[in-house]
Structure 1
Amino acid sequence: MRLNHRQLEAFRAMIETSSVTEAAKRIHITQPAASRLLSDLEHQVGYPLFSRVKNRLTPTPEAQALFEEVERSFIGLETIAEAAREIGTYRRGTLHIAGMPAMALEFLPSIIGSFCKERPDISVALQIRSSQKVADCIATQQYDLGFAEISVKHPGVTSEVLLTAPLVAILPIGHSLAGKDSLKPSDMENEPFISLGAGYPIRQKIDAVFHAADVERKLQVETQLSVAVGQLVASGAGVGLIDPITAAHLEQQNRVIVRPFSPKIQYSYQALYPKHKPVSQISRSFMDIVAKHLETYDDKSAPE
């Protein structure tokens, strides 16, 4: 038995309207075409669906039973159609994100919160990993988007620079250097310095700047994460240099003082995508929001 969708559509409309004329109007066909679809359906199922009394069609008990099944199918199709519309307008689906701590601890959660508020049927998973681990996650295609510091050369990963911005100096509240509009290496001579780990490329850039200025720092504490540097500075343990996004969140919480630092030490925020997996419309929509938020951190006025 092969039933086609158009036959069932006419049958459903006939049951709901009790009129071939009205059923035809509902599905946008002529009355003879609707009658033919109903007749073909009866032929296919092998038993009468309507009794004909005084030129009116009355559903048989078998028709009522069949209608219940048809209605369930159409409700399912309508649900699928609604899902298709929502997917097409980026309001339904899943988004898997892996991000380095500098972006994933404060910046990305705030964006995800507003993104999901406007799209309650979208499911988002956020994993916080080191930049290298983020690249590994993206290469396996288990994640849709990655955010890292490093530019990745991997056959399974595509990377692009989202923002390049200079590191900023952070000071404890009330620190003696807070009166300066900007800081340079000599200002931090003999100051307790909270440093990023020696194995990080950005640490090597920082060390090179102080070495070129012939300035000795008092390396008080070494840690892996910018946010940990910020927490230590906030506690009064020393001063430090960190990425501008982490610094901005700490400053908003009134926990540290932020000042431009010269010479500039550029820090890049990278977006990573699986190279052999198409970028979804949900991902593109999310990245549009990320790009707009990152514009506020592009501080071109920082001193050279």
Structure 2
Amino acid sequence: MKARKTPRIRQLEALMAVIGNGSMTAAAAELGISQPAISRLLSDLGKEFDFQLFDRRDGRLVPSQEVRLLEPDIRRVVDLMRHISDVSTDITKRKAGHIRIACLPGFATSHLPAVVSEFLRDRPGISMTIEPDRPERILEWMITEQYDFGITDGFFGHPAVEKIDLHMRTVCIFPEGHRLGKLAQIRARDLAEENVIHTRRDSVFFQELERRFRDDQTELRSHIEVRQFTAACELVAQGAGVSVVSELDAVKYKNQGIDFKPFTPKLPHCLSLVRPIHKTPSLITLEFVETFKESLGPYLERS
């Protein structure tokens, strides 16, 4: 008994084209091939199926009973292959796919939504998952390749993670109408009598902030310790103290009860864009990373 060959998709497309048109000439025109080419495709398919494909009635080709039995399955296969072809084209053109993003909680509710919304506006085939969490969890997700891209801080490197460091400009924020608003820029010594809201004591950013106070021979009056800049902005807006945060976060609260001025000497906040080094990124993921980087351009510290 000879081994049965698996029909090729082009043969099945030719079969469905003839069923739909009733003639090889019209089917060949639909597929953009010659009539002899479609005849060969059907001849080979008939040999593989080992039964007659068409009967001729009143000058038209009509499917045999055997083909009618297979037609629903063949149609599903042809439609599925066309769908796969369309989706693969969209992926190549970066109009289809799914991106899994892990980020700091502040980004999930402030800067990121606007960037994502604009990015997806002309890409209806793209979907996203956005998962906010602390830096330690984001690093874990990158190492285990659970997410395509991460936005974090306090990242010192890992052999399984690729990173891009961006140095964000920072400012001193204070309640609207505060005396600090009269200054052109603010030093640590200007905050000698102020309650300071700051990031966690074990963060690199706090340690650098504390060093600025020491250099100015000024005591840092620690009032409230928070994990995220957005929390500091909320507290300052409520009159709980002053803080030094990323300008990116400060501008979101400009008309919500806070004002800000440049902090000097410069105290950049390092933001890290990370992704798994052993997981090949999709084209759409790489495009989004570039889009996100560009969105941060106005807030980057210039050398």
Normalised TM-score (structure 1): 0.90
2:105 equivalent in structure 1: 101
| Alpha-carbon contact 1:193-1:240 (below 8 Å) kept | yes
1:155 partnered with 2:152: no
1:127 equivalent in structure 2: 131
Determine the C-alpha separation between the residues in 1 that align with 2:105 and 2:40. Answer: 66
1:143 partnered with 2:147: yes
Structure 1 window deviating more from structure 2 (201-210 vs 105-114): it is 105-114
Aligned partner of 1:9: which letter? E
**Among residues 223, 230, 233, which one is paired with 1:230 in the alignment?**
233
Determine the C-alpha separation between the residues in 2 that align with 1:151 and 1:268. Answer: 9
Question: Helix, strand or coil for the counterpart of 1:118?
Answer: coil
1:214 equivalent in structure 2: 217
Structure 1: stretches of 5+ with no match in the other structure? none
2:183 equivalent in structure 1: 180
| Alpha-carbon contact 1:15-1:67 (below 8 Å) kept | no
Deviation by residue 1:111-134 (Cα, 9 ceiling, x = unmatched)? 222223332332212222222322
1:259 equivalent in structure 2: 261
Aligned partner of 1:211: which letter? R
- Where do residues 24-43 of structure 1 align in structure 2 (5 Å cutoff)? 24-43=28-47
| Alpha-carbon contact 1:166-1:266 (below 8 Å) kept | yes
The structural deviation recorded for 1:102 is 4.2
Count of paired positions? 299
Determine the C-alpha separation between the residues in 2 that align with 1:96 and 1:7. Answer: 39
Structure 2: stretches of 5+ with no match in the other structure? none
- Where do residues 262-277 of structure 1 align in structure 2 (5 Å cutoff)? 262-277=264-279
| Alpha-carbon contact 2:12-2:78 (below 8 Å) kept | no
1:195 partnered with 2:212: no
Aligned-residue RMSD, C-alpha: 2.2
**Among residues 228, 245, 250, which one is paired with 2:248 in the alignment?**
245
1:69 partnered with 2:69: no
Go from structure 1 to structure 2 and tell me whether the alpha carbon gap of 1:226 and 1:29 turns closer, same or farther (over 3 Å shift).
closer
The structural deviation recorded for 1:25 is 2.9
1:23 partnered with 2:23: no
Structure 1 window deviating more from structure 2 (228-237 vs 68-77): it is 68-77
The structural deviation recorded for 1:96 is 1.2
Deviation by residue 1:75-120 (Cα, 9 ceiling, x = unmatched)? 1111111211222222222211111234333111222222233323
Determine the C-alpha separation between the residues in 1 that align with 2:57 and 2:170. Answer: 86
Normalised TM-score (structure 2): 0.90
Determine the C-alpha separation between the residues in 2 that align with 1:239 and 1:98. Answer: 29
Aligned partner of 1:75: which letter? D
